[in-house]
């Protein structure tokens, strides 16, 4: 069993078995974190380039730590110090990186499809660390891993994703992943934040939070950004919170053992209240830990795949 593609661009492209392989592989990596030496030599000599066109300390740190714990060399190419500022095109930039003999290019970009273009342009393995409103596959995988770890399964669970579905790559990756693993997925937000025809992805749309949370196993809240106010999508964050924030009171709509998840960073008091984020049902910090394990698993599996193929 191995991954089919050289790249990880989205969960849309993975089948159930591949997702399972990644989740199964992440388990032993998580165990590694309990050791005093949290580093293994598996990717010794390989180079991982982190190309971040958007500032994201969390995701970048997580990938960087994953690479380092596999003994790979990692190189940061943040936008502010790279030639991107001088107007170099994405394609020219990644060709330069390929010329440095990078084995992996991990890309974060504000535009949907950016990772796809990079993967078409270069031979290195490309991992999408978030492209516009398209996908953020490692986030989706770490969320699946967290749910499976806590619930023992994914199939048959009811999951509600609340927030800016329209602009959320996290929502799209989670929808693909959860649907492939057999969960029932609901999305909930004011209609302005739900893309038309999102139902075609197999989700049920709710505008009313109480109904959306009825009997669910997992509540997944998304970060709401202040800009949405200026784009005529929301009157105010205060009003959003009034109808959609997850509070202890609202947790009661869901199952008693419902998990609460958030991809971070959180706006406490807007999409989630502190009492919930820090409460017993929250697995938000574990998501962070699991993120490293998932990213190690992805790097390891892609590395193995690549080398197997270069042999034949």
Partner 1 sequence: MEKILIKNGRVVNPDNKIDEVLDILIEGSKIKYLKKPLSITADKIINAQGKIVVPGLIDMHVHLREPGREDEETIASGTKAAAMGGITSVCCMANTNPCIDNVSGVKFVLLKAEKEGLINVFPIGSITKNLLGKELSSMGEMSKAGIVAVSDDGNLIMNAKIMRRALEYAKTFNLPTIVHCEDLNLSHNGVMNEGKVSAILGLAGIPREAENIMVARDIALANLTGAKLHIAHVSTKESVTLIKEAKRKGIKVTCETCPHYFTLTEKNVGKYNTNMKMKPPLRTQTDINAIKEGLAEGTIDCIVSDHAPHLDIEKNTEFNLAAFGIIGLETLLPLIMVELVEKKVLSLSEAIKKVTLNPATILGLKEGRLKKGEYANLTIIDPQMELKIGNDFFHSKCKNSPFIGRKLKGFAVTTIVEGRIVMENRTFVSN
Partner 2 sequence: MVFREKKIIMNKSEIDRTIKRMAHEIIEKNYGVEDLVIIGIQNRGVPLANRLAFKIKEIESVDIPVGVLDITLYRDDLNSAADQPIVRETKIPFNIDRKKIVLVDDVLFTGRTIRAALDELIDFGRPKLIRLAVLIDRGNREFPIQPDFVGKIFPASIKELICVELKEVDDNERVILKEILENAHEIKK
| Residue 17 C-beta: closest distance to partner 1, Å | 22
Query: CB of residue 300 vs partner 1: minimum separation in angstroms?
Result: 26
Site for partner 1 in 151-210 (CB under 8 A): 167, 169, 172, 195-198, 200-201
**Which residue ranges make up the site for partner 2 (CB under 8 A)?**
1-2, 24-25, 27-29, 31-32, 35-37, 39-42, 70, 297, 300-301, 303-305, 307-308, 311
Q: Which of partner 1, partner 2, none interacts with 222 (beta carbon under 5 to 8 A by kind)?
A: none
Smallest separation (angstroms) from partner 1 to the CB of 311: 28
Please, which residue, 27 or 195, has the CB nearer to partner 2? 27
Closest listed residue to residue 295, CA positions, set 76, 8, 75: 8
- Contact (Cβ atoms closer than 8 angstroms) between residue 39 and residue 68: yes
Closest C-alpha to 78, from 47, 110, 52, 107: 52
Q: Are 116 and 137 in contact (CB under 8 A)?
A: no
- Under rule CB under 8 A, which residues in 92-121 are in contact with partner 1? 109, 111-114, 116-117
- The residue length of the chain stands at 312
Q: Coil, helix or strand for 109? A: strand
**Under the criterion CB under 8 A, does residue 262 sit at the interface with partner 1?**
no
Q: From partner 1, partner 2, none, which one binds at residue 195 (CB under 5 to 8 Å depending on kind)?
A: partner 1
Q: Closer CB to partner 1, residue 195 or residue 304?
A: 195
Phi/psi for 45 (5° steps) reads 85, -5
Q: Helices (DSSP H) in 33-86: which residue ranges? A: 57-69
Taking the least distance from each CB to partner 2, the nearer of 26 and 254 is 26
Burial class (CB in 10 A: 0-12, 13-18, 19+), 108: buried
Report how far residue 271's alpha carbon sits from residue 260's, in angstroms, rounded to the nearest whole number: 12
Is the CB of 201 or the CB of 288 nearer to partner 1? 201
Specify the residue, 20 or 96, whose C-beta has the smaller distance to partner 2: 20
With tokens 């191995």, the residue in question is 2
């Amino acid at each position: 069993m191995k991954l089919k593609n050289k790249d990880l661009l989205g969960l849309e492209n993975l089948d159930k078995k591949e997702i399972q392989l990644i989740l199964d592989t992440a388990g032993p990596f998580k165990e590694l974190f309990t050791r005093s030496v949290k580093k293994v030599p598996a990717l010794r000599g390989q180079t991982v380039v982190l190309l971040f066109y958007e500032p994201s300390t969390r995701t970048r740190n997580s990938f960087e730590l994953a690479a380092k714990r596999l003994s790979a060399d990692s190189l940061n190419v943040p936008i502010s110090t790279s030639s991107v500022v001088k107007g170099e095109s994405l394609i020219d930039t990644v060709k330069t990186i390929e010329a440095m003999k990078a084995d992996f290019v991990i890309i974060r970009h504000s535009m949907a499809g950016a990772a796809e273009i990079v993967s078409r342009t270069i031979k290195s393995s490309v991992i999408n660390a978030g492209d516009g409103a398209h996908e953020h596959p490692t986030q989706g995988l770490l969320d699946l891993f967290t749910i499976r770890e806590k619930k023992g399964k994914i199939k048959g669970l009811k999951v509600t994703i609340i927030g800016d579905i329209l602009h959320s790559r996290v929502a799209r990756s989670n929808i693909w992943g959860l649907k492939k693993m057999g969960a029932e997925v609901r999305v909930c937000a004011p209609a302005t934040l739900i893309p038309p025809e999102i139902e075609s992805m197999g989700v049920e749309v709710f505008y009313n939070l109480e109904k959306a949370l009825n009997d669910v196993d997992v509540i997944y809240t998304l970060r709401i950004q202040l800009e949405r106010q200026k784009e005529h999508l929301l009157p105010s964050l205060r009003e959003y919170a009034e109808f959609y924030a997850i509070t202890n009171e609202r947790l009661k709509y869901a199952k008693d053992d419902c998990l609460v998840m958030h991809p971070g960073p959180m706006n406490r008091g807007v999409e989630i209240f502190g009492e919930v984020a820090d409460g017993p049902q929250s697995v938000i910090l574990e998501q962070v830990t699991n993120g490293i394990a998932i990213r190690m698993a992805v790097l390891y599996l892609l590395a193995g795949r690549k080398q197997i193929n270069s042999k034949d």
